Amino acid sequence: MVVSEEGRLLILEDPSDEDLARAREHDGPVIIVLRKLSSVNVHGIHPMNIYILKSPSDEELEAVKAQLMARRTSTKEVPIEGPINRRELLMGRVTKVVEKNIPTYFENACRARFGCNECVNACPVNAISIVNNKVVINENACIECGLCVSKCPTGALAMVGADDNEYVALLNKLNTVRGIRRVTFTCPLNTRGPRKGEYIYRVPCVDAVSPEWVAMALAKSLEVDIECPDPSCKLGGADYAKRLINAFTESFKLGTTEDGALTTAGDEAASEGIIYMGIRRNDYVKALTRLRSRSTGTANELLKIFSVHVDDVKCSFCGVCFAKCPERAFDVGRDGSKTVLRFNNLKCIGCGYCARLCPEKAITVDRAKEFPMSDSTDVVYDEVVTCRMCGKPFDTRRHIMATKVRLGIKGDPEWLYLCPDCRRYYTAKKMLENALGVKGVKSYV
């Protein structure tokens, strides 16, 4: 029977054939609760749209509902070559279609215009390209592995079951649902039910599990496991899962349970009430900051942590990197009488935009080999220059020297050490003196 229909979520309990027929036509996720029945025939429903729970606890049901109520993606009918069947003909279709879990693209979150191409590099079948600074997906070529989703540093790609919105809704719900202590990521081929205290999080393929998701769960003191049911799967999920688990054990002092799940046993109090916002990099920074005390000092390349080197000789302290970084990884502060350019490794997504814009070509970006043990690192110091007329600080020594070289200025003209306001006054005064032919006027500097 139909228990409820909340938004796009349909909940059925011990459904009849009529209920299942309705589920097949439903545009959205379906939860089937089995209390008396042992099984149901769900043929015709995409495996990522159906969730079968056998005599679930109230906590498990509430957690699944929280995840699916936050779903903002959907599967898509993709035209393919081949003859259509009678049912398709009666439905008015003139081409054969197949239902696929194609990644959804959120342009506002994408950093392709800044040079990021992680999704393109990740796709094993070259189904992704960047055209006019936007991600374009070849729907026919896509094999639904989710690697592009897991590699995207900002969450600009999402799939049914592999979406930051869904995942964050679940993790935040677990602040009140106390009985669940483990999240196990697996694919629809794995049909086993959850063990006590376990939440089975089904993704299109375990390739879609990002390091951000693992860190966010560990920061909440949840156990984390990644379970590929088919080691011979051509998508290579088992190998990816192993490498991702190893990346965390290499980078953090974590425990493992008897069945190989990651655990931060003993940190329960420190993780109380942590709330995620659904903004991938921001949530990741929050999680990594919580895990910093467990760092081994190493940063595995799968963790998407980057380092920036600024050539202290070349840098003119022009501020382009600080002003243009899309993730605000650079900051400018004061250290006594000096100005400091600071860099936050955890915020950086490695797009390289700062390096391309730097007029002095003083910046290089690489994957970090060491885990950053502080929120920011001082990368360049410079002396603050004050206006010789009004005394207001207005520039740095490096930038003034670079301006002299760039403009071919010879000597050390007095106007170069004036703030913009005083420089306009000084220039107007000089023009007036020249126009009036006044000589020997006392310097204003």
CATH 3.30.70.3270 range(s) for the chain read: 305-386
- CA pair distance 365, 355, nearest whole angstrom: 7
- CA pair distance 8, 12, nearest whole angstrom: 13
Report the predicted TM-score, pTM, of the whole model to 2 decimal places.
0.86
Among 205, 149, 167, residue whose Cα is nearest residue 70:
167
Report the chain's terminal Cα–Cα distance, integer Å: 87
Minimum mean pLDDT among 297-301, 343-347, 398-402: which range?
Answer: 398-402
Which pLDDT score, from 0 to 100, does residue 444 have?
A: 46
CA distances (Å), origin 83, targets 77, 78, 89, 141:
16, 14, 10, 19
Question: Which tens digit of pLDDT belongs to each residue from 289-332?
Answer: 999 999 999 999 999 999 999 998 888 888 899 999 999 999 98
Token digits of residue 201 = 């999080």
Which pLDDT score, from 0 to 100, does residue 439 have?
A: 58
In CATH terms, 305-386 corresponds, of 1.10.357.10, 3.30.70.3270, 3.30.360.10, 1.10.3720.10, to 3.30.70.3270
- CA pair distance 290, 267, nearest whole angstrom: 10
What helix, strand, coil percent values describe the chain, rounded to 5? 30, 25, 45
pLDDT band per the 50, 70, 90 thresholds, residue 445: very low
Question: Which tens digit of pLDDT belongs to each residue from 77-120?
Answer: 888 766 666 665 555 655 677 899 999 999 999 999 999 999 99
> Which residues fall within 8 angstroms of residue 234, CB to CB, at 6 or more apart?
none
Question: Which tens digit of pLDDT belongs to each residue from 147-195?
Answer: 999 999 999 999 999 999 999 999 999 998 888 999 999 999 998 999 9
* Average pLDDT, integer, range 371-386: 89
Chain position carrying tokens 């592999």: 162
Query: Residue type for 124, please?
Result: P
